[in-house]
């Protein structure tokens, strides 16, 4: 019985730590999706998207981003680039582009910024 109580106490302690520390860190992160799409006319690339952090971070956050969709003409080469152009505690600017003969109808990015 004492062993079970000790195990339950350990599990409860771990659960409290996850709630206190895990949710506090998660609450400070912000995320979303951006993109450009215009079929059958391809958007003018490069496309820059401004992300406004609401609320602003206390200092410049770290940011991760990645492609979440792409629509490209099957008869042309497949080239796409995404880059973080600027980031501060108030906003970030992500750029999506292509080059050479790629006809890119649409591209989307998912992002997450954390302190």
How high does pLDDT run on average in the chain?
A: 83
Distance CA 3, CA 87 (A): 51
**The model's pTM:** 0.72
Residue 85 vs residue 21, higher pLDDT: 85
pLDDT given at position 2 = 54
Task: Report domain extents, the chain.
Answer: 31-114
Distance CA 104, CA 1 (A): 65
- Report which DSSP code applies to 101: T
Q: List the alpha helices (DSSP H) in 56-100.
A: none
Looking at the domain 31-114, which fold is it? Immunoglobulin-like (2.60.40)
With a cut of 50, say whether residue 35 has pLDDT above it: yes
pLDDT for 7-27, tens place per residue?
A: 435 434 444 444 444 444 444
């Amino acid at each position: 019985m004492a062993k079970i109580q000790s195990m339950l106490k350990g599990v409860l302690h771990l659960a409290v730590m996850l709630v206190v520390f895990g949710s506090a860190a998660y609450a400070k992160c912000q995320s979303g999706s951006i993109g450009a799409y215009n079929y059958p006319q391809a958007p003018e690339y490069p496309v820059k998207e401004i992300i406004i952090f609401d609320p602003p971070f206390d200092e410049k956050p770290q940011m991760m981003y990645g492609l979440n969709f792409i629509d490209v003409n099957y008869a042309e080469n497949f080239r796409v680039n995404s880059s973080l152009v600027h980031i501060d505690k108030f906003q970030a600017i992500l750029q999506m582009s292509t080059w050479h003969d790629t006809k890119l109808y649409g591209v989307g990015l998912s992002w997450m910024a954390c302190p």
